[in-house]
Structure 1
Amino acid sequence: MSNPLALRSDAEALAAPFPPLLADAEHLATTVLLGDHGRRRAGTGDTFWQYRPAQAYDDARGIDWRRSARSDSDFVQDKEWQIAQSIVLWVDQAASMGFQSDDHPTKAHRARTLSLAIAILLIRGGERVGLTGLRLPPRRGEAQLMRMAALLSEMEDIDYGAPEAQGMLPHSRALFVSDFLGDIKPVEAALLRAADRGVRGVILQVLDPQEEAFPFDGRTIFQSMTGAIQHETLKAGDLKKRYLDRLAERKARLQHLAQTTGWQFQTHHTGESAANALLWLYGALERHP
Structure 2
Amino acid sequence: MPAIGEIVRRTPTAEVLSRAQARAALVPDCLVEARRLANTVIAGWHGRRKRGIGENFWQFRPYVTGESLARIDWRRSARDDHTYVRDREWEAAHTIWLWADLSPSMMYKSSLGAVSKESRALVVLLALAEILARSGERIGCPGIMEPIAARNAAERLATALAHSTLADGLPSTEMIRGSSDIVLIGDFLDPPDAVMERLGPVAKRGLRGHVIEIADPAEELFPYAGRTEFTDPESGEKLTAGRAETLKDDYARAYQARRTTLADNLRHLGWSFVVHRTDHLASEAIVAAHMYLSGLPDMRAAGAHR
Of 206, 212, 220, 2:214 maps to 206
Name the aligned partner's letter for residue 255 of structure 1.
A
Is the contact between residue 64 and residue 75 of structure 1 (CA under 8 Å) also seen in structure 2? yes
Equivalences for residues 271-286 of structure 1 within 5 A: 271-286=279-294
Deviation at 1:54, TM superposition (A): 7.7
Of 53, 61, 84, 2:63 maps to 53
Of 24, 37, 49, 1:28 maps to 37
Percent of aligned positions that are identical: 32
Is the contact between residue 191 and residue 258 of structure 2 (CA under 8 Å) also seen in structure 1? no
Deviation at 1:99, TM superposition (A): 0.3
Is the contact between residue 212 and residue 285 of structure 2 (CA under 8 Å) also seen in structure 1? no
For residue 96 of structure 2, give the secondary structure of its aligned residue in structure 1. strand
Distance 1:126 1:135 in 2: 20
Matched residues, number:
275
User: How well do the aligned residues superpose, as a CA RMSD in angstroms?
Assistant: 2.9
Is 1:123 aligned to 2:133, yes or no?
Answer: yes
The superposition leaves residues 212-240 of structure 1 with CA deviations (integer Å, 9 ceiling, x where unpaired) of: 11122222211122562222222322221
Is the contact between residue 174 and residue 202 of structure 1 (CA under 8 Å) also seen in structure 2? yes
TM-score by length of 2: 0.78
Deviates more, 1:164-173 or 1:274-283: 164-173
Name the aligned partner's letter for residue 126 of structure 2.
L
Is 1:255 aligned to 2:260, yes or no?
Answer: no
TM-score by length of 1: 0.82
Of 77, 82, 85, 2:94 maps to 85
The superposition leaves residues 166-206 of structure 1 with CA deviations (integer Å, 9 ceiling, x where unpaired) of: 33333211111111112434421232122212221211111
Deviates more, 1:63-72 or 1:213-222: 63-72
Deviation at 1:67, TM superposition (A): 4.1
Is 1:106 aligned to 2:100, yes or no?
Answer: no
Is the contact between residue 63 and residue 72 of structure 2 (CA under 8 Å) also seen in structure 1? no
Is the contact between residue 144 and residue 161 of structure 2 (CA under 8 Å) also seen in structure 1? no
Match of 1:40 in 2: 50
The superposition leaves residues 104-141 of structure 1 with CA deviations (integer Å, 9 ceiling, x where unpaired) of: 20000001101110111111011111112x33122121
Uncovered stretches (5+) of structure 2, i.e. residues with no partner: 1-20, 298-306
Is 1:224 aligned to 2:232, yes or no?
Answer: yes
Match of 1:4 in 2: none
Of 244, 267, 270, 2:252 maps to 244
For residue 104 of structure 1, give the secondary structure of its aligned residue in structure 2. coil
